[in-house]
Structure 1
Amino acid sequence: MTGALKQIICIKWGTKFGPEYVNRLHGMIARNITPPFRLVCFTDDGTGLHPDVAVRPLPAFDYEAPKNTLGKWPKSRLWGDLGDITGTVLFLDLDVVIVGNLDDFFSFGDPGDTVLATNPARIKPFEKLGQTSVYRMRVGKLAPLQQIFRADPQAVADEYRFEQRFVTRRAPGGVKFWPKGWVVHFRADCVPPFPARYWSPPRIPTGARIVIFAGSLNPPDAIAGRWSEEDSPRAPLDHLRAALDGRRRESLGRHLRHYIRPADWVARLWRE
């Protein structure tokens, strides 16, 4: 794909992420890619988006959303026809932080491959689970998954729990994975192990290109130095005191592990 237009897509629905997430994603891409490129945002509200972001409506996909089931199933809207967007696209979640060059994400493997990040979670023993925060696909190749999902969304969600497990196991032609270290998980790969996280801030692993923020810890939380948006930033000693004086919301072990220092590099890189 050398010299070709590099197409990146994202999706924004509801109110969890404002336009600043898309605009910062565009800025990070622009600083870490060899042109030409285009970021396309599929959204139900394009208000406030940077003028260089191509805005498209959420693709039509009629289904009954699974209830009380984990997973970002609205991403399934992108598995089928994307209108005037064709060919190979790289999907990025809105809350990633780009820390290295993106060019290799377009030249890795065959353009028709479905390529996922490796999920660090070990939900089932020996399972190699893909992570769809950063994945590449040929537009329309995952359309058969849409049809399976549409037929009984709750049954699919009950069986696979996460949309990324469904893609990992059922993608036509199978999936490939990005080389180890290109895509890293903030909590698993950047935050120092316990108890070093009390005195050492999160770091960018050598060779990383993209940092993903799965779960309830997003870039603003990493900047502030809190485990989730429900927490308040605390100095190390105050966090330790809270473990014993009744100011914790979880078990003692989880409270002690759920601590991070502010990540200054997130604030430096996560910008327009």
Structure 2
Amino acid sequence: MKQVICINWGRRYGAPYVNRLYAGVARNITPPFSFTCFTDSAAGFRPEVQVEDLPPLEVEMPKGTKGIWPKARLWSARLGRLEGPVLFMDLDLVVTGSMDGFFEQGAPEDVILARNPNTPFEALGQTSLFRFPVGKLLPLQERFLADPQAVADSYQFEQRFVTREAPGGVSFWPSGWVKHFRLDCARTFPLNFLLPPKRPTGAKVVIFPGGLLPPHAIAGHWGKHYRPMSRAEHLRGLFSADRPDPPLRYLRHFLLPSDWVREVWAE
């Protein structure tokens, strides 16, 4: 049984993201598989999604850090009814190829992460998509619970904490399996005014860190500070007092709609 898990709390994502993630996995995996969402609200979930309560984490979350530390809920000794290896997937990623390899790589007891492309000089993992055996990361949770702010201040990101401190160490998915939308798909200036973001050849999953989400890619705008607009309108905005970024960054942040994201991020 291939076990896929995700986590949802609050109102930022909810059922539309959970359902689309399930659909993307289901279209690209060889059964049998399960798909479990740990959540505080299952309203609107499609019936194939198995639902579990959020694992408790009775501490105050760190302040002033960049990491998504509530993910530490998943490091507990038990995860609902699940046992053995689970593949965690962020809600804001899209599936572009076969998922089977993520369950065949390495040994069942391994912790395997995507490599973070933002840190080429640091072997840092990316927890947008990683596999681990239920319970293996409990020592990390215990350290975090003892002093959440100190752990967050020391490591900044939960993915750095997992990468450096996971019992037995970590390994990474093969190069090319997991791609980063902003770095690997969005075109550089001036090609971004001429061509839509490219679909990376051979990628199994495309991740969307940094606030540029699949709906933005589909509509054609760069995150929450921008809106869909034509080339001419974007260029005119270069001279506006309301321009959200310095000139060169503003020009780099023009984005044409991504039809391939629309195709793969569909329920």
TM range (shorter): over 0.9
- Counterpart-to-counterpart distance in 1, 2:199 and 2:222: 17
Corresponding residue of 1:254: 249
Q: Give a deviation string over 1:11-69, Cα, whole Å, max 9, x none.
A: 00001002011111111111000000110000000111111110000012211100121
Once the two structures are superposed, the pairs formed by residues 114-125 of structure 1 within 5 Å of their partners are 114-122=111-119
Partner of 2:227: 232
Gaps of 5+ in 2: none
Residues 1:21 and 2:17 are matched in the alignment: yes
Instruction: Report what 2:67 is aligned to.
Output: 71
For 2:121 and 2:240, how far apart are their aligned partners in 1?
A: 40
SS of residue paired to 1:215: helix
Cα distance in 2 for residues equivalent to 1:82 and 1:48: 22
Aligned residue in 1 for 2:124: 129
Q: Deviations over 1:246-271 (max 9, x none)?
A: 23112112111112111011111111
Q: What is residue 186 of structure 1 aligned with on the other side? A: 181
2:140 pairs with 1:140? no
CA distance in 1, matches of 2:45, 2:154: 37
Give, in angstroms, the shift of residue 98 of structure 1. 0.3
Identity %: 56
Identify the match of residue 176 of structure 1 among 165, 171, 175: 171
How far is the alpha carbon of 1:219 from its aligned partner?
0.5
Q: Provide the C-alpha distance between the structure 2 equivalents of 1:195 and 1:129, rounded to a whole number of angstroms.
A: 30
Q: Distance in 1 between matches of 2:115 and 2:231?
A: 32
Contiguous gaps of at least 5 residues in structure 1: none
Classify the secondary structure of the residue corresponding to 1:211.
strand
The equivalent position to 2:98 in structure 1, one of 92, 96, 101, is 101
1: distance between equivalents of 2:16 and 2:234? 31
Tell me the distance in 1 between the aligned counterparts of 2:44 and 2:11: 13
Question: What residue is the counterpart of 2:154 in the other structure?
Answer: 159
Deviations 1:75-131 (A, max 9, x none): 000011213111000000011100000000000011111000011113xx7212110
Which of structure 1's runs of 4+ aligned residues deviate more than 4 A?
Answer: none
Q: Which amino acid aligns with 1:46?
A: A
Render the CA deviation track for 1:196-236: whole Å, top value 9, x for unaligned: 11111011111100000001110000001000023111112
Aligned residues: 266
Letter in 2 for 1:39: F
- CA RMSD in angstroms comes to 1.0
Work out the CA distance in 2 between the residues paired with 1:86 and 1:194: 47
